[in-house]
A and B are shown apart, each in its own frame.
Chain A
């Protein structure tokens, strides 16, 4: 079945630094990927839709200059948290949308970001 690999699984960084999270579709091409943020014991919050070869579409309230998304190929999307602050600490998850509507989204394993 479809597999999405997300790295790193966890990262600790200092305030003011930038962190890049990668999301790869391993055995299928994903023209569309999604990035979510999840706070403890809460649901998924869609941050942005990443489209291969074009600019990402951000949800209302998500700072596009803070959360840079690049989808340069059909198998890779990256999320860069720029100038990270402690309030950016969270669990970030990516997913890829298969082309057939009968297939559900495939999710990465998530990245736990801690900014100290």
Chain B
């Protein structure tokens, strides 16, 4: 069965600095990888996904993520953080056998002015 790990509960960065939110995964087949963001009292919003092709995936709000097969990672990145990026971020994996999606525990990103 697939699984996802987000090793950091909390990430703090200063506004304007680059940010990275880490995610590693385990899946038996080919992975479909996703990032979601959750703002307070809201549902999860889709940010980006990796299915196939280029390892660097660009998504909403200037976020991108890099698929690294050898390290089984899919870290979320942004070159310059904004205070409004402060939210809870979830990584998820789904394998190509159409199994259920598994979510990481979430990482709370705080961007300070």
Tell me the A residues contacting B by CB distance below 8 Å: 1, 4, 6, 41-44, 49, 91, 93, 95, 97, 99, 101-102, 104-110, 112
Which residues of chain A are within 8 angstroms of B94 by Cβ–Cβ distance? 101, 104
Say if the beta carbon of B49 comes within 8 Å of chain A.
Answer: yes
A102 in contact with B51 (CB, 8 Å): yes
Which residues of chain B are within 8 angstroms of A101 by Cβ–Cβ distance? 32, 94-99
Known A-B contacts A44-B90, A101-B97, A104-B49; the reply to A93 vs B41 at CB < 8 A is no
Query: For the side of the interface on B, what is the size category?
Result: 20 to 34
- State which of A42, A49, A99, A110 has its C-beta within 8 Å of the C-beta of B43: A110
Looking across the interface, which residue of chain B has its beta carbon closest to that of A106? Answer: B46
Say if the beta carbon of B92 comes within 8 Å of chain A.
Answer: yes
B43 in contact with A41 (CB, 8 Å): no
- State which of A1, A43, A102 has its C-beta within 8 Å of the C-beta of B105: A43
Which residues of chain A are within 8 angstroms of B101 by Cβ–Cβ distance? 97, 104-105
Which residues of chain B are within 8 angstroms of A43 by Cβ–Cβ distance? 90, 103-106
